Amino acid sequence: MACSEWETKIDPYIDSELDAADAASFGSHLNSCPECAAEALGRMKLKRAVQSAGHAHFASTEFRTRIRSQVRGRSSSTPRTAWLAFGLATVMLIFFAVGAARFSVRRSQTRQVVAEITDIHTSNLATANPVDVVSSDRHTVKPWFQGKIPFAFNLPELEGTDYTLVGGRMVFLEREPSAMLVYKRGAHIISVFIAQERFPLDRLDSPYLSSSFHIESWRKGQLRYCVITDADPHEVQPLVALLKSAAKG
């Protein structure tokens, strides 16, 4: 059961109808309230099921072609070359404008996700309880996420490496329920985020530096992985390789 004071914000949050301040505030609340997080996840699943059902039936290519042919057959035979040229030019302008707008939105989404990841990682560095499930055993941490996020993932075996699994927690990134794993190597904390592929980080498939943090992202199947740490990049690569190898299993 969601908190009474936050319940009315769940649907506007999912539909991206909250302003930036309210969305950030509610996102922070979701990361610390299992009840509201579970309610938001349930409503998100329902919304996607409805959207999927709405797209289940659509006109076939043959049907659309037949209708277009009938419309063309009934249209006037008056010369219309100039109008067609004008229409084509208009369509091309719209096409390029839409493409530019989508690129701008995608770039803005990438910056926003980088900011969210950086904020969560930074906050975890300052808290005494950075994870909700505390364990160095991957067979304990992985099952803890079942029912909390809408996907499954694999974690690597760390025996014989310099890395230690601290634990994990469920977080929301871009309003998507995601997994966060916390690893440690020496004095350095390494945060690993795993989310579904709609996670807008396709521009970060190569190493990225933001606010003195090393960020590296890649995708595997339907999942997006993102690593952030203040450690030197070469100190992270063995863990990245282990994560990529585990994801193949």
The tens digit of pLDDT for each residue in 10-62 reads 787 777 777 777 777 777 777 777 777 777 777 776 666 666 555 555 556 67
For the segment 104-122, the average pLDDT, to the nearest whole number, is: 69
> From the CB of residue 35, how many other CB atoms can be counted at a distance below 10 Å?
13
Superfamily of segment(s) 104-247: MucB/RseB, C-terminal domain (3.30.200.100)
Higher-confidence position of 38 and 226: 226
Q: What is the pLDDT of residue 102?
A: 47
Q: What is the pLDDT of residue 52?
A: 56
Q: What is the mean pLDDT of the chain?
A: 76
The tens digit of pLDDT for each residue in 178-212 reads 999 999 999 999 999 999 876 555 555 555 555 57
For the segment 58-82, the average pLDDT, to the nearest whole number, is: 60
- What percent of the chain has a predicted confidence (pLDDT) above 70? 65
Integer CA distances (angstroms), 59 to 62, 65, 237, in order: 8, 10, 49
Higher-confidence position of 10 and 171: 171
Q: Which residues contact 23 (CB under 8 A, 6 or more apart)?
A: 13, 16
As a whole number of angstroms, the distance between CA 149 and CA 38 comes to: 9
- What percent of the chain has a predicted confidence (pLDDT) above 90? 29
pTM of the predicted model, to two decimals? 0.59
Select, from the ranges 49-63, 65-79, 91-105, 205-219, the one with the highest average predicted confidence (pLDDT).
205-219
Is the pLDDT at 151 greater than 50? The verdict is yes
Determine how β-strand 133-134 pairs with β-strand 188-196: unpaired
Question: Do residues 59 and 66 touch, judged by C-beta distance below 8 A?
Answer: no
Q: What is the pLDDT of residue 222?
A: 86
Q: Which residues contact 114 (CB under 8 A, 6 or more apart)?
A: 201, 204, 208, 210, 215
- Any idea where the domains of the chain sit in the sequence? 1-75, 104-247
